[in-house]
Structure 1
């Protein structure tokens, strides 16, 4: 009887825990409140009208698909590179793979550039100025650390 009681308590705990996670994580459609994507930020900051929003969402979806392919290719190339660690002589192979990784980084930047260039095409003159401010502000912040700083180093 004692073994069954422990099992029933454990079962009840697991059911309650699963219920909690179902309600908190699956019960919410989309992103949790307060978490909006960069697309929503751009639409809000540029104050797009309905027509501009529709065109922007098409551009954004196309951009996301292109970038997904680029990131998948990058992951594949880096996996291939680091799988070569245990091999002996392979300087040519490493040069080839790192060149492909560099070309992929270039493609990422060019794709992002043209994404913003296409956004600019749907903007009016005032929105173009605001878009320039947003892009320049993002570029100035690019190298800065975000979040909390790293913990202090231990002195030996």
Structure 2
């Protein structure tokens, strides 16, 4: 077999493998992540009125959480800026403040679920309790590996 013939086989082989790879990527369906909203609506079997109430709860929740996220980012900026100085007292108070805002964030999340429970009909409470039992697996982000 001559060198030219060998190179032609290699090139054709690489071309075929690339085409197969492109076909595989294009034919593969991306995973559908509808987020917690659609999952909660489906799991709790919300009707249209409940969905409208739930959407308002989501709007309020996002606004409150957004405010807390900004507070935490501001505090963390101050905290890490303190590396330029030697003020241990300031560092400790900033860490406590970050912890306080994190605690407030968790309370907001908890109240959000209390509010969701309030819009459930009595026949949906069992579904709500099942949802809470599955809480960790439902809301754990798969794109974040454990540390």
Q: TM-score, normalised by structure 2?
A: 0.70
Task: Write the distance in 2 (CA, Å) between the matches of 1:58 and 1:145.
Answer: 24
Is the alpha carbon distance of 1:113 and 1:148 closer, same or farther for their aligned partners in structure 2, counting shifts above 3 Å?
closer
- Corresponding position of 1:15: none
- 1:47 aligned to which of 26, 45, 48: 45
Where in structure 1 do 4 or more consecutive aligned residues deviate above 4 Å? 147-150
User: How does 1:57-72 map onto structure 2 within 5 Å?
Assistant: 57-72=55-70
Q: Alpha carbon RMSD of aligned pairs, Å?
A: 2.4
- Corresponding position of 1:26: none
Task: Write the distance in 1 (CA, Å) between the matches of 2:145 and 2:134.
Answer: 21
Offset of residue 148 of structure 1: 8.2
**Pair 1:73 & 2:56 matched:** no
**The structure with more radius of gyration:** 2
Offset of residue 43 of structure 1: 0.7
Task: Write the distance in 2 (CA, Å) between the matches of 1:59 and 1:103.
Answer: 23
Task: Write the distance in 1 (CA, Å) between the matches of 2:77 and 2:42.
Answer: 38
User: How does 1:112-127 map onto structure 2 within 5 Å?
Assistant: 112-127=109-124
- 2:94 aligned to which of 86, 94, 97: 97
Count of aligned pairs: 116
Task: Write the distance in 2 (CA, Å) between the matches of 1:54 and 1:145.
Answer: 26
Listed as ranges, the gaps of 5+ residues in structure 2 are 1-29
Is the alpha carbon distance of 1:49 and 1:68 closer, same or farther for their aligned partners in structure 2, counting shifts above 3 Å?
same
Q: TM-score, normalised by structure 1?
A: 0.66
Listed as ranges, the gaps of 5+ residues in structure 1 are 1-31, 151-156
Task: Write the distance in 2 (CA, Å) between the matches of 1:148 and 1:65.
Answer: 24
- DSSP-derived class of the 1:117 partner: helix
